[in-house]
Structure 1
Amino acid sequence: MPTDAQILEAAHAAAKAAEHLANAWTAAETGNGGEALKLADEAQAELRKALRRLPKGREALGARAVTALPVSTGESPRHRTERELLKVAIQHPGLMSPHFRTLTPDEFTHQGYARLRAAITAERSEDAEDAPTWVSACDEAADGDTRALYAELAAEEIRRRPGVDRQFADEQLVTVRGRALETAVKEVQDGLTSDPSEEAQRNLWSMQQYRMALREQGAAALGEHPEALVCLHDQLGSPA
């Protein structure tokens, strides 16, 4: 059974999600599509936070019980970056940093992309370096919707001129990891009022240092803070 504190925290997060959705609706009606998508993103983050506050909620998130969001050309900037990263991983796996393997599905905010990331992670072997191996692995492991998304991203042009290189791949990876850190840091900060423990403050400091390193050093900092990565995955509900 959830504690009273967990219920209150979940209710608070759900209320914030409802507020974001109402504001998103208003923004959409007034023609501000960009703001509407940003607010919808924030609403989804709050709903995930509400689920994590409850014992069965983390289990549901781990099982990907949340309905997948539709893929559309009107995606938010965060979803677009996640999409571009997966396209590079599928079309140009040789350009991906080894740290891509540490990127968990919970670091993706779009549930369809999270499922695809899980499928690639589950099947890609340690020595798989060429695209055909990735295709075979994903096709054998994933459900129909995920295979369809994989095929779509495998054929879709990457938004990069004049061409895709390691720098572009690193930028997408750092951005996705950095945004996941921002989400986790905010969640810990919000929870400090009910859990001001030394451990929570230590975890917060560790993730803040990692986030700062990514901003200053980019991809070079991806593997420099393993303790912060453990904190991040624990906060998002992923195994370390």
Structure 2
Amino acid sequence: MYARPRVLAVVQQGRDAAVRLAAPYTAAVLVETDQVASGVGEINPTRFTVAAPDGRPMGSLLDESVIATKVAVKQGTSVDEALQSGGSHLIRDVLTVLADTRRQVYSADITQRPGVAGYTRMLNTPSCSRCVMLAGRWYRWSQGFQRHPRCDCMHIPSSENRAGDFRTDPQAYFDSLSGAEQDRVFTKHGAQAIRDGADMNRVENVRLRGLGTETSHRKFGTPYRLTVDDIYRNAGTRADAIRLLTMEGFIRPSV
């Protein structure tokens, strides 16, 4: 696996860049939206790239594309098709990891600012129907960011929805699309129902009924680091969350 070290190095460079760009984001948005919320410490950029966003070693996550390729070959897929499938798997994982790394920085920075009660979910268009339905919703600081593979939606730190543009308004975003794009994102019948006045949430929920959410399975014996999402699940209070984020190195105490 000669390419593995090179792939890991490139992904690491991408994650380092993502963290550098994400670190000043929350402070900049607070200034732009006339909100004041000082932090109890500061973001520690290097901690966010020690492991994959789900806590496992980065290499083991990227190895899944190799496994997927070998499984495809074993199932009778041609080598070329299996390699193409594995490549798509790798691209999906890398894009998701970069977005998750960025989002974890945002989330930790919001948490360590007690003056920020939560965040509003913002689209990074173009977006899928699942993300459109969540756009503009406000979440408490401790609520994890729901996402699917390759999702690139973002946080707006706030105590309420302060954005007021199409990126946080599902109906406004739907109306901004052409008829063809509405059909593509929501399906032909679903889009027509929405155009006819049907409730967008109800239409989408019916379409997705029965689909489970993505879960993460951690194998026994695999080294694992506590993630930002783990901290939110286990912290009973905000003070405890800040303590755990500091203990795990995501936040550095103020000097």
Tell me if both proteins adopt one fold, taking TM over 0.5 as the criterion.
no
More strand by proportion, 1 or 2?
2
- What's the TM-score once normalised by structure 1's chain length? 0.35
Larger RCO, structure (CA 8 Å, separation 6 or more): 2
The structure with more radius of gyration: 2
TM-score (norm 2): 0.33
